[in-house]
Structures are given as C-alpha cells and as structure tokens.
Structure 1
Amino acid sequence: MRIVANFILRFQLPLLLIAGLTGAFFLRYIPGTEMSEDVSTWFNDNDSVLIEYRDFQDTFNESQFLMVAYEWNPPFSGSELSYLSLLTDSLAKLPHIRDALSLTTVENISGTDYGLEIGALFDDDLPVTEVISNIRRHPFVYGNLISRDFHSVAIMLILEQNDDDTRSLSEFNQEVDTNLRNLLLAETARTGRQFHLGGELINNAAIEIMMERDIRLFFPLSMVISAVFLWLIFRNIFAILSPLLTVFLALVWVIGLKGYCESPITPVSTTLFALITIIGIANSVHLISQFRLEYAQRPDRKAAVLAGLTKAGTPCFFTSLTTAIGFGSLVTSSIPGIADLGIFAAIGIMSSYLLSIILIPAGLLRFPPPKPDSVTKQSNLTHTLLNKIADLNERYPLWVSAIFGIIVIVMALGIPRIRIEGSIIEYLKTGTRLYQDTQFLDRHLSGVSSTEIIIEGIPDCFKNPDLLTEIEAFQQEIAAHPRVSVSYSVTDYLKMIYRALNSDEDAYYRIPETRDAVAQCLLMYEISGGTEIEKYISNDYSMARISIITKQMNDQESNRLFALIDDFSDNHFTEYRVRKTGFDYLVNQLTRRIIATQITSLRTASAIILLLMLIIFGLRLGLLSLLPNVFPVVFILGLMGWAGFRLNMATAIIASVAIGIVVDDTIHFFTHFKYEYRKTGDIHRAMRAALTGVGRALIFASLILMTGFLIFILSDTRILMDFGILASIAIFTALLGDLFVGPVLLSSIDVLRKRFKK
C-alpha cells in the first residue's frame, strides 16, 4: 500500500482532475435516470413466467383495470343511483380510459319473446326488490361491483394505451393516476365521499411516488447525520466537508452510470443513496482517524498522511471489497431489481473508496492539521471505555465466550421460524393510503388480486358439456379456499344465457346438457350483440380462461391455492394443457425466487469473503477471523424468526449484505492486532493496543452505519423499514463481536503466535 500511497501523494492534482471530470461526465446523465416499478422490475423480459403472463393478456385482450370504490347510503336511492351514473360517465371521459363498468353500465343478459336481450342491469321503472334480485343473480356484479351487504359500490375502469404512445410506462401510470385522483379529490370536496382505489397501475404509481419521497428524504438526511457524527468525532470543518464531498461525488458517478446504462431506479435501489453515503463515510473516518494517530506521534503532516494512508488504506480497501462482494453477490439473483442493486451498490462502494483515498489525503495536506493535544483530549472517553473492555476480555474470557455462544445457539433456533411475505401490499406500512384502500376493497368487495388459469385444447373443445362441467366443478372446488372471493369463466356466461333462453327460470341456471345446446347459446349471445364472453374464451373455442379473484394472501395461503389448482388439473384436465398466470401467480413465483436469492447470495458472498480472508490473514487467522462474524449473521437471521420479520424483497438480501458489512470491523481489528503483535511480541498487549488504537474508529464508524440504516424507518414501505432495522442490529452485533469475541479468541489461542510473527 505504501507504493499506492506515494503514487496518490505524488500525482494529487491529476487524480483530482480525473475524479472531477468523471463526475462532470456522469452528471449529464442523472436527469435521464427514470424510476420504475412494474413486472419488469421483478422479471426479465425472456422469463417464461412473464412471457406466459403477456401471452395471456394478448390472447384475451386483457387490459389493465382499476377499481374505484366508495360507500353509498342509503343503497339504491334515486340520488345515489343518479350520482353513480354521473360519476361513471365522468370517469369514462378521462384520458386513456376505454370503458367504465358499474351497476349503471354493466352488461345484463335477459330473455325476451324473441330470444336474448343484452341490456342494462336495471332502469328507473324497476322496483328496488327486483333490482336487488337482478344483482344477486348476476355473478359478475354481486360482490364485485357492489358489496354483498349493498353498502359499497365500485366502478371498474378499463385502461387503454395507444401503440403510438412513446412515453414510458412510468409516465403513463403517473398521468392516469394524477388525472383520476384529481377528479376524485374534487368529488370528495364537493360531496364528502371518500374514494378507495386499487389495481396494478395504482400500486405502481403510488410506489413510484414513495420512491421519490424516499430519495428526497434519505439522501439529505444521511448527509446531515454523517456531518453530525463527523463533527462529534473530529470537531474540524475539513473532517466534515471532505468525506461528504467524497460520497457526493461517488453518488454522482453511480447514479449517472445508471442513467448512462438506462437502468431505472427501483424500490430496492432507492437505498443506494443512503448506502453509499454511510459506507463511504465509514472509510473516511478510518483514514482521518489513522492520520490523527500518526500526527500525534510525529507532527509532520506529509509523513503522517503517508503513514496513515499506508496503514489504513489496506484494511479500508479490503473492507470496501468485502462490502462490495456482499452486495455484488446479489447479481446471482434471478430478480432484475435485486441483481441491479447488487451491481451498482458494489460499483458505488468501490468508487467511494477510490475517491476517499484521493480526496482525503489531498485535503489533509491542505487544511490546517489538528493540534496534538486536541486529538488526545477527544479520545480520552473512548480510550477509557476500550481499556475496560480489554480488562473484561482478559479477566473473563470463558464467560465472554459462554455468553456469546449461548446467544448464538438461541438465535440459531429461530432461523427455521422465518416466514416468507407472500402479499405485495404487506410490503407497505399499514398507515399508507394504498394499504388502507386495498384493505377496504378486500373487506367490502372481491379485491383486486387475481390468478388466471388457461386451459388449452383443440378447436371447439369448449363446446363439450362434459369439459364445461369439469370447469364448473373446478370453480366450486377452489371456492372453498378462504381467500378466494369469486371465480369467473365461460360457464358463468353460459348458465346466464341458458337461463335467459328459458324464460329466466332459475332452474335453468346450469350448463346445457348437449353440445348443440351449448353452441346455440353461444350463437344467440353473439347475435344479440354480447361481447363480454370473449374475455373468457378464444374465438375458435380451443382456449378457456378461469379468472380467480382473491383477497391479499400470505405465502402459505398462496401455496395452498396453487397446490389445489395443480391437484385438480392433474386429475381432471389430463388431456389439456393447463397454465397458471396472473398477478397472484407472479407474486408467488417472486417469493420462490426471493428464497433462492437469500441462499445463493449468502453462499456466494460467504465463499468469496472466506477466500479473501484466507488471502489476507493466512489459513489459521483467516478461519479465526470469520468466527466473530458468525455471531451477527446468526443473530440477525434468528431475530427474523423470533421477532416475526418476514422474508421479502428487501430482507432477502440482509444476510449477504450483513456479512459483507460486518466483516469490515474484523478486518480493521485483525490487521491492527497483527501489526501490534509483530511489534511487541505479546498477545495481550497487542490485543489491548489494537482495541485502543482502532476501537474508537470502529465504534464511531459503526454508529454512523447504524444511524444511517435507521433512516429507512422513515420510508412508507415496511420492507425498507425492516431492512433498516435489521441492518442496524447486524452492525451493532458485529461491533460487539469484534470488541469481545475477536479479542478473546486472539488472546486465548497460542497456536497463532508463530503465524503472527512471520
């Protein structure tokens, strides 16, 4: 490292110029960096799950839909029906709304003397009792467009985006969401009604707004917190400004690179701003702290900068590298949003290190140095604390080992208790509007989540009454699932048509018994101008869709539903191709990949970091250096199980990220210990000197990291809040491991002595 340090000090101005020009280059691309939250964030374009989903949308001309719901009182009064009709018309006139379906516009099938009539569900002349009867007999309305207690109604908005629309999906979502909310806010102000929105577009638009808020909050707050801690540590304006400039420039590099690569900011990548800031500041703390220690011994500024960069530069490089590896291991994830975070976080962390070893020494040589006396006075408190910790480690090594060992065992028992979060809406805090609106739609109506089952056979096979009866039995089977609200298929339309053709007698609300009768029902429906059935059957009758509308489900409920679907399909649809898709299925597949991400990224990060530690410290010391880091990783995983933290998009990366971050303190401590032992030849003196020498920087760097991660508590998304809490606890437990477990191990194992002296 001394060669590198000499090079940096010799070519300061050219290196500063290159860093600045690189920043200016990437700064141009930051305004073009977009935000995105849709299925492409979680699935690659060539992913079979996403391809199946898009094929389903194309086959059945399935457009996105939104739900607008509100409570009406009294039900079916003239004024309420008039208002529902006016609101439906107003919503239908909004840009990009192809159709608006409500009680006043939905298609109703009834019988006449001449056959079928496709008309309105009711008119002004019908008594309320007949209106209620019509609603109860309409499977697509009852419980869906009106609640089963008749106190809530909904309007379904069918969206349409023109093929020649060149805007991004994010811009389209925001325009539709803004127009809709502005209209409904005006209606709330005028009528006092409270509206509840749901649908994929609403979710995506709301999450993008949360992302923008998080970025506006996380970045400045992390900078302020870092500045406060830097002042508490160093009491020097340079020691505040230069680290902040370092991380700011690193962020410009990384976010500009994302813009250059046309990589959007996703919900998980909003953490980049705080991550790079707080991790980068930690490097600066170690570099400046080491300089101050050297300057207190030799008041020669250039010599102190060279010695400080030589001693702290190497462990800072390896700590940055291990943290980058922790994040970089996420590239093994099949989830694009997580893999993207891994790439750019790793680049950002190493960029921050590179900039810190260029900018910090340059500043140290140009700004007034600290007075040696002030350095000593500021470290008295932590020096006393660290000496007491050293005394404790020397006097009670068995007790320290036993206490930490018991904690590891207890927390390890909690790991099997970790549960997966299967509901995307549970990614949000309960106080957010989106969460509350979704809960309203789940409680009062059928909900907005769906699973789609596609059954494919030969042309005209779905005119076979036996096959249609199997589909009806399938719908009855899945209706027993507690989170299934309702299911729709071609059989529901056929039963309505058959009843209408038989004087609207309820006894005929069943599937026709012959193929000819089925064909006649379909023909009469088409002649009468009906079109809605096309959503559930292909034109050649070779492919049918069963749409299962569900409440929000956790992972266990979702797995039970798909097991039920697979079991029935394997036993009853053996001659047909059956595919699962829909939003619920996408979420279910996403949770499977979250588990895989947890396993593969942790395995990859652990293997690479183990290899790195062996290279740095050799076989014996390298293996020993991992033991203090087992404690925080096991503790955090056990805590997830015992405290009920769910495995989700953010917490899935906590183990690999944690092992990358927590090993940093170990590298600093073990490197310092190795240096002190070679100098003194006494393990106990070396342990104490290492603790008092690097311990202060470890404590304050950990405090910066902990406080920085706790910023995520302020996010509207619960997954980022959980990630922040768990990461902060991981760093705290890692600090305890390095202050207690590492020193006890080093001072207790004599077999290492020869290794250290080499």
Structure 2
Amino acid sequence: MHHKLEKMLGKFGEFIGKHPFIVLLFSLLVIAFPISNIPKITMDTSTEGFLHKEDPMLIKYEAFKEQFGRDERILIAIENEKVFSVEFLTKLKKLHKDLEDNVPYLDEVTSLVNVRNTRGEADQLIVEDLLENFPKTQADADKIKTIAMANEFYKDLLLSHDGKITTIMIETKAFVSDEKENIDDMFSEFDEAPAQDVVKTPLTDTQNAEIVRKVRDIVEKYSDDDFKIYYAGSASVMDALKSMMKEDMQKFTRVTILIILVFLFLIFRRVSATFYPLIVIILSLLTTVGSMAYFGVAFKLPTQIVPSLLIAVSVGATVHVLSIFFDNFNATKDKKGAIAFTLEHSGLAIAMTGLTTAVGIASFAGSEVAPIADMGKFASLGVLISLFLTLTLLPALLMITPMKPKEIKENHWLDNVMRRFAYFPTHHPKSVVVVSLSLVILSIVLATNIKLSHYPLEWFPKDDPNYVGTHYIDDNLNGSLTVEVVVDTKEQNGWQNPKRLQTLDNLNKELAEYDDGKTYIGKVVSLDTIVKESNKALHENNESFYTIPSDQALLSQELLLFENSGSDDLEDVVDSQFSKLRVTVKVPWVDSIESEDMLAHVQKRFEETFKEEEVTVTGIIPILVHTFTQAIRSSVESYIIAFTLIAILMMFIMGNVRLGIISMIPNLSPVIVGLSLMYIYHIPLDMFTLLIGSIAIGLAVDDTIHFMHNFKRYYLRSGDAVVAVENTFFTTGKALVITTIVLSLGFYAYMFGNMESVQNFGFLTGSVIILALIADLLLAPALMVLIAKRGWIK
C-alpha cells in the first residue's frame, strides 16, 4: 500500500510538472472563499468567552447579568492624606461628573459624591447623596468625614479604614439596546410609526475596550502627586491583557517570519526557497482566520497560538519539500523529474505528518473550554490547508519559476554534522536508550511537582498600571473582584421575612471573617445592609438599632419607605418581587487555584443555610476557577485521545503494531522532558503552557514520521541499520535540522515579549522543538538499530 501511494504521489508530481498553472489556479480557488471572510473576524477576551454557550455556568451568569447587571466594574482608587478637604472633594466631584458625562455605555458611577447616606429625621426615612449639600467650609467637610467614617457600608468599598484612600466604582451596562429598523413601509402614511422592537445584545469586547480607554483618558487628566490614582477591575485588566497579548503575538509572529526568511535564504541561497514557504504560511493563516470568521468564531486569548502553530507546521513541511527537490534538481538538472521524485520520495511522509498533526490537535475540539475547542477545530483545519498547499501550490510555484541547478558541494558542513550525529546512536544504541529512559523517568518525577496556575494578573509586567493598581486596591481596600451569590426563595416577598433576613445577616458576618491563608473575604454586601441602615435611621439614628427588625410589619414598612425614598439601590440587591436576592462577596484577585477552597466554602455555607432555597454562585472568580478546572481535565483527555489516535496512525505508517508503538517513544519524550524544564524554571502549568503540548505533539510526530518513513525505506533496500540511519540523516535529517534551527529561534524571540505568559510560551516551545530534534537524531535511530538486530523489521 505504501508503495502504491508513493507511486500515486509521484504521478501527481508529474501532472504538476506538465500543468503547473492549472494546479496553481485550482489551489487558489479552493482557498478564495474562506479568505474573503477575513474582514468579519472579531476578538473576544471576555472572561465568559472561555465558556461554551450551552455551559450551565455561562447560562447562570447571563441570567444574573439580565437581573442585576454587569459585575465587572472598573475601580479607581485615589490616595490623599486629606480626602475630606474641600479642595479634594471638589476635584473628586469634577472627576465624578466627567466620568458620568463622557464614559460610553455607562450604567452608574458611585463615589463619595453620590453614595447613599441613610438617615432619619422625625418619622421620615431620608436617603440622599452623601455630598447632597456640598461642603463650603472645612467645618462642613469635617462633619461629612464623621458621617462617612462611621458608616460600615463605606468601609473597604468607598473608603479605606484610615480614610486616606477613596474609590470610584464605574459600572457599565451588561446589555446594549438596539432598535430594529422597521422594514415594513405599510405604516409610512401614518403620522406615528409603530413601536420598534428593542433587541438587547451583550456588551461586546470592542465596546468594553472603548469604555476602558475613555476612563483611562479621563483619569489621566486628574492624576497628580496630590491626587494619586490607581485603577483596577476585571474589565480594565482583561482589556489591557488583550491589547498586550495582541501586540506581543503580532510582533513576534513578524519576527518569527523574518527569522524564517533569513535562515531559508542562508540555507538554500535561492529567492524561491526563501519566499515560497512564506506564501504557504500566509495563505494557510488567512484561510484559517477566514474560516473562523465565516463560522462566527472570535479570536480569544488561547486561540492566539494558532498562528505560531501553523507557522511551525508549515515551515516543517515546506522545508522537507524544498530540501529533497533542490538536492534532486541540482543532481539531475531536471525540474519536472525533481518535482515527481520529491512527491514520490517524501509526499507520503509529509501527508502523514499533516494528518497526524491535524488529528492530534483536533482532539482538543471536544474541550469544555470554548477557545481550546475552537483551537482544536480550526488549527487542525489550518494544518490540513497547509498540507494541501504544500503538496499543490508549492510544487506548482517551483515549476513555473525559472531557476538553474547549482553545483553540488562535497563535504557540506551540514553533511558533516549529520555524519557525526549518525555515529553515536548507531554504535552506542543501548547507552542512548538507557540515558534517555533515565531522563524521562526523572522528568516524570519532577513534573509531578509542577504548580498549577490560572492567574492572568501575573502575566503582566510588574510595573504595569493594572498590576500595580490591582495589588494596591487589594492590599488597602480588601479586594478588587467579587463573587456573586443569588438566593432564590421562589416566593413573592420571600425576602421580606425577618427570620430569613436575620439568617442571611448572620451568615454574611461569618463569611466576612473567612481567611484560609491563600485568600480571604474582604466584605459582604446585600439587602441586610440596607435594612440595618434603615432600621437605625428610623430609630433616631441610634447605633444600637443597626440590626434586622424582628417584626414583619416593621420590616415591610422600612423597605417600602426606602423604596419610596428615591434611591434605586434596592434594584442592585433584590428583584422587584423580593424573591431573588443578590449577595456580593468582595475578594482580592489571587490565583484561581487558590480561590477554589474559598468558593467551595461560600457555596457550601449558603446551601447549608438556605436548604429550601435555590442557591447560585456566579461571577468572574467562579468562571475563572471553572474554566481552568475544565481546561485541565479536558486537556488531559485530549492528550490521551491524541496519543491514542497518533499511535494507531503510526502503526499504519510503519505497517507494524510493534514498530508503531515503539515509534511513539521519541514523540512522548520531548513533551515529558519539557515538563521538567517547567519545574526547573518555576514555570506554572497555566492556560498557555497547557497548550504548548499541541505544538510539541505536532512537531515531534512530524519529525519522527519523516525519520521512520525514510529509515524503513533505506533499511529495506540495504538490510543494514547503520547505513539506513546515515542515508536518512543525509536526506531527511538535514531538513529536520534546518526546520529546528529556524523554528526554535523564532519561538525564542517570544522571550522578549512584554507578558510573562508569552515569554514562558516562547521559551518552552523553542526548547521542546530542540528536544524533539534531539530525540529524532539520537533516540529514534538507537531504537531502530536495536529493533533491526532483533529482526522486527520485515
């Protein structure tokens, strides 16, 4: 079968030699439609973008936003020794108004300027802005300070405990209302058009970026030494993450391509060999991105490794074609014959490498993390597109390009390197296998100590304003993120029950004391806070009445008075029927792994306390934890599926079950040893390093297939394993070395990126590429020599 397939590919090479323009036109027509969709591509770096639309976690989160609004705030912290001076409050008010007037898609801005101040006057409940009567003198400001510092609601929310830091909370709309155009002209004759349908669409990534950038522009105008401003919040952090990731990936993709061009020219000394691989890479990328756009799939943070993956796969395949083609063309001076020989000699191996790489990556398509699943689908499609172009477009371009054969140089430096590499594994195979096995075992032991992590904040440079601001706010105001809990009583006025509300208040006080050494709960805010404020105000502002009233009628009356006071704060914590309640748990931004116990504790305590009610825990922190947990589990499953399917394909390629299984050893080894590098250099297993294995699998398998395929051919001809290894190294081996040099340098360039995750990605990927080459130049030939001695190759 192998022989027949090789002959078929040789015939196809002859067809390309005779009809290059037909093949060229056909190749371009196949990819034209996907590429035409590129303008439709979008980006999505939202936290919920990590979830599939049908994921229960996302469904709950969307329901929460529908009821209570967006929980992703932008926090601005302002430091001043005299927060309650007339001068400071005047500037704060000006900034507050500037934000209200100019930030798009705004829902609410909350600061000391307009935070509620609940007080009683005679029998009246008055809920007004804290600075309703703006201070004119310092004495007025001091009175406001006394009120603010005594208010429990303000602490760690709008004021630090020492009163030297205040915050502004910017809440934006979760949904944007669009009016549908009425396309029916039948009403045009009437004076009044019919009411138009209103469609609520979620706030987009682009709109969030518009919000964040406007806030930063406004804040920048007010920041000075006496008005030190820090900002944080998941909306701001994720936008900055997207911008930096996009900048890094674009910059280093260009650097990688430049390195590829330079080295290909140095190796082949031909313009065609330099730029034609680039054409294949670019067209493969464009076709993949266009396909994503056609199916409405946005670029997300993990899917940004797709360009790097396609570059790696495309370069490897094209270098093999070019290396075999030019060796034959220089020797025979027959271009048509060289095309046919190249496809017959290496076409099957290239096709198999593309297929195995696509299968390995496609195993991620079933991931429960949406962008990882997208990567599995579209990166595997991109690999197949690259394979198609390598076997059609590239030979056709070579055929129509005028070129002259070059003189073959004896003792080329690369031939000498290959000769030396071939000696050791063929003459000391047992030593190579023993050392390799020992290294793999040691790496497995070390890999068990790798730290799991999903901490996007730590990907930033340590001087980034988002990094500095988040830690500043976490340290001084007990948290910058929230966990949201919804408790549904399933009954009208269920939260106008004094006993249930008192139970909630007791639980909230308990949770506010939580600290497990990894994270803590800084503050808990809900309906009980409003009720206690109202009860205190209606009892002559007596602090001893800052409690939940035990009388049902009094509780209902207080809630009615608050509702009629003009404040809309009730809408933030309870629905209109008083059946659903929102509890906001304020926490610092720590590693998602370190938040697991806290989240489990919150969920458990609410479910234990409210056994008859429906409890939902949602928000950004639960989504981050859920995403990484699913990513770990799904990736382990995907790698198992990938290795199983690739092993089956290797058995087919080798034509032998035993050889197929043994050939997987050089594929696994680079990945396992790469894990030991993560331990040695204290690199955590996060959302990005988790995906490096997909590139490692693709490259390791590709190199192994090329080596095994050609080794078997030469061994069956000569019957001598040493000769077969040498011949393989002089042909396929040179292409492997060239590919490794080019790609490893390209990925190592990522180490100069701004973000730590990008630096780790570049270092590990470049290192695994080198390890894959070493495995195929030392371990694979050593295994083949030992196998040949046992007579297992028929």
Indicate if the aligned counterparts of 2:453 and 2:593 stay in contact, CA closer than 8 A. no
1:83-113 CA distance string (max 9 Å, x none): 0011111111113323321112111111212
Paired with 1:256 and 1:31, the residues of 2 have a C-alpha distance of: 8
1:426 aligns with 2:458: yes
1:387 to 414, 419, 440: 419
Q: Is the partner of 2:495 in helix, strand or coil?
A: helix
**Which 10-residue stretch deviates more, 196-205 or 724-733?**
196-205
The CA deviation at 1:197 is 2.8
Equivalent in the alignment of 2:217: 182
Q: Say if 2:269 is the partner of 1:235.
A: yes
Correspondence for 1:401: 433
Residue 31, structure 1, aligned to residue 45, structure 2: no
Question: Aligned partners of 2:425 and 2:533: how far apart in 1?
Answer: 80
Q: What is the Cα deviation at residue 215 of structure 1?
A: 4.9
Segment of structure 1 superposing worse, 395-404 or 100-109 = 395-404
| Structure 1 stretch displaced more, 487-496 or 453-462 | 453-462
Residues 275 and 630 (structure 1 numbering): CA distance in 2 closer, same or farther, change over 3 Å? closer
Q: How far apart, CA to CA, are the structure 2 residues paired with 1:261 and 1:720?
A: 28
SS in 1 for 2:584: strand
Tell me, in whole angstroms, the C-alpha distance in 2 between the residues paired with 1:721 and 1:594.
21
Kindly tell me: are residues 722 and 436 of structure 1, through their superposed partners in 2, closer, same or farther at Cα, counting changes over 3 Å?
same
1:303 equivalenced with 2:312 (yes/no):
no
TM-aligned CA deviation for residue 418 of structure 1: 3.0
Structure 1 residue 165: deviation in Å? 7.0
Map 1:480-495 to 2 at 5 A.
480-481=514-515, 482-495=519-532
The answer as to 2:126 corresponding to 1:117 is yes
Deviation at 1:610, TM superposition (A): 0.6
Which amino acid letter does the alignment assign opposite residue 185 of structure 1?
Answer: E
Query: SS where residue 703 of structure 1 aligns?
Result: helix
Aligned with residue 243 of structure 2, among 180, 193, 209: 209
Pick one of 104, 109, 123 that aligns with 1:100. Answer: 109
* SS of residue matched to 1:413: helix
Are 1:582 and 2:619 an aligned pair? yes
Q: Tell me the equivalent position of 1:68.
A: 76
CA distance in 1 between partners of 2:277 and 2:623 (Å)? 43
Alpha-carbon offset, residue 61 of structure 1: 4.2
1:464-512 CA-to-partner distances (Å, cap 9, x unmatched) read 3332232223223322224322111111111111111222222222222
Contact 1:597 1:653 in 2 (8 A): no
2:314 corresponding residue in structure 1: 280
Q: State the Cα distance separating 1:193 from its structure 2 match.
A: 4.7
Q: Counterpart in 1 of 2:564?
A: 527
Going from structure 1 to structure 2, the CA distance change for 1:754 and 1:171 (only over 3 Å counts) comes to closer
Cα gap change, 1:569 to 1:177, in 2 (>3 Å): closer
Which position in structure 1 is the counterpart of 2:197? Answer: none
**Cα distance, 1:747 vs structure 2:** 0.8
CA distance in 2, matches of 1:265, 1:714: 23
Long gaps (5+) in structure 1: none
Within a 5 Å distance, the mapping from 1:610-649 to structure 2 comes to 610-617=647-654, 618-649=656-687
Corresponding letter in the other structure for 1:145: L
Match of 1:476 among 503, 509, 523: 509
* Structure-2 change in CA distance of 1:507 and 1:633 (3 Å): same
CA distance change for structure 1 residues 193 and 31 in 2, over 3 Å: closer, same or farther?
farther
How far apart in 2 are the matches of 1:329 and 1:34? Answer: 24
Q: Which residue of 2 aligns with 1:450?
A: 482
Tell me if structure 2 keeps the 8 A contact 1:92–1:157.
no
Question: Which of residues 163, 172, 177 in structure 2 aligns to 1:150?
Answer: 163
The 8 Å contact of residues 415 and 730 in structure 2, kept in 1 or not, is answered as: yes
- Does structure 1 residue 737 correspond to structure 2 residue 775? yes
Opposite residue 74 of structure 2, the aligned amino acid is: L
Q: What secondary structure, in the 3-state scheme, does the structure 1 residue paired with 2:83 have?
A: coil
Provide the C-alpha distance between the structure 2 equivalents of 1:27 and 1:477, rounded to a whole number of angstroms. Answer: 57
Distance 2:714 2:150 in 1: 84
SS at match of 1:196: strand
Name the CA distance, whole Å, in 2 between partners of 1:103 and 1:611: 66
CA distance 1:134–1:20, change in 2 (3 Å): same
CA distance in 2, matches of 1:192, 1:317: 66
2:538 to 501, 506, 509: 501
Deviation at 1:542, TM superposition (A): 1.9
> Aligned residues, how many?
752
Residues 364-419 of structure 1, C-alpha deviations (whole Å, 9 max, x = no match): 33332441324x46xx2222222222222234333322221221111101232233
2:118 is paired with a residue of what secondary structure?
strand
Residue by residue over 1:541-560, the C-alpha shift from the partner in whole angstroms, topping out at 9 and shown as x without a partner, is: 22212110110122343111
Equivalent-residue separation in structure 1 for 2:370 and 2:767 (angstroms): 27
2:355 maps to 321
Determine what percentage of the aligned residue pairs are the same residue: 26
Q: Which of residues 13, 16, 24 in structure 2 aligns to 1:8?
A: 16
- Equivalence map 1:186-197=2 (5 Å): 186-188=221-223, 193-197=227-231
Match of 1:702, as an amino acid? T
Greater mean deviation of Cα atoms: 654-663 or 483-492: 654-663
Distance 1:71 1:367, change over 3 A: farther
The answer to whether the Cα contact below 8 Å between 2:41 and 2:293 also exists between their aligned partners in 1 is: yes
Q: Does 1:59 align with 2:73?
A: no
Rounded Cα–Cα distance in structure 2 between residues aligned with 1:396 and 1:249 = 44
Aligned to 1:721: 759
**Aligned pairs for 1:620-699 within 5 A:** 620-699=658-737
SS at 1:463 equivalent: coil
- State whether residues 326 and 661 of structure 1, in contact with CA within 8 Å, keep that contact through their aligned partners in structure 2: no
- Which residue of the partner structure matches residue 47 of structure 1? 55
Q: Which residue of 1 aligns with 2:594?
A: 557
| Aligned partner of 1:271 among 305, 311, 315 | 305
- What is the identity, as a one-letter code, of the residue corresponding to 2:56? S
| C-alpha contact (below 8 Å) 2:71/2:619 kept by paired residues | no
> Aligned residue for 1:600?
637
Superposed CA deviations along residues 157-209 of structure 1, whole A, max 9, x for unmatched, are 23235411799713322322232222223334x88855333334323432342
1:355 aligns with 2:389: yes
Name the SS for the 1:727 alignment partner: helix
- Aligned to 1:163, which of 166, 170, 177? 177
TM-score (norm 1): 0.94
1:701 CA drift (Å): 0.7
**8 A contact 2:333–2:405 mirrored in 1:** no
Q: Which is worse superposed, 332-341 or 747-756?
A: 747-756
Aligned pair 1:79/2:87, yes or no? yes
Q: CA deviation at 1:463?
A: 2.6
- SS at structure 2 position matched to 1:460: coil
RMSD (Å), alpha carbons:
2.4
Q: 1:466 is matched with which residue?
A: 499
Find the residue that maps to 2:112 and give its secondary structure. coil
For 1:173, which of 186, 192, 208 is the aligned residue?
Answer: 208
Deviation at 1:128, TM superposition (A): 5.5
Q: Deviations over 1:324-368 (max 9, x none)?
A: 222211101112211112222111122112112223323433332
Determine the C-alpha separation between the residues in 2 that align with 1:682 and 1:583: 62
| 1:336 has 2:336 as partner | no
Q: Residue by residue, what CA displacement relative to the aligned partner does 1:438-473 show, whole Å, maximum 9, x if unpaired?
A: 223222334331111111213333233332232223
Q: What is residue 251 of structure 1 aligned with on the other side?
A: 285
Say which SS state the counterpart of residue 59 (structure 1) adopts.
Answer: helix
In the alignment, does 2:55 pair up with 1:20?
no
SS of 1:484 mapped into structure 2 = coil
| Distance apart, 1:2 and its partner CA | 1.9
User: SS state of the match for residue 372, structure 1?
Assistant: coil
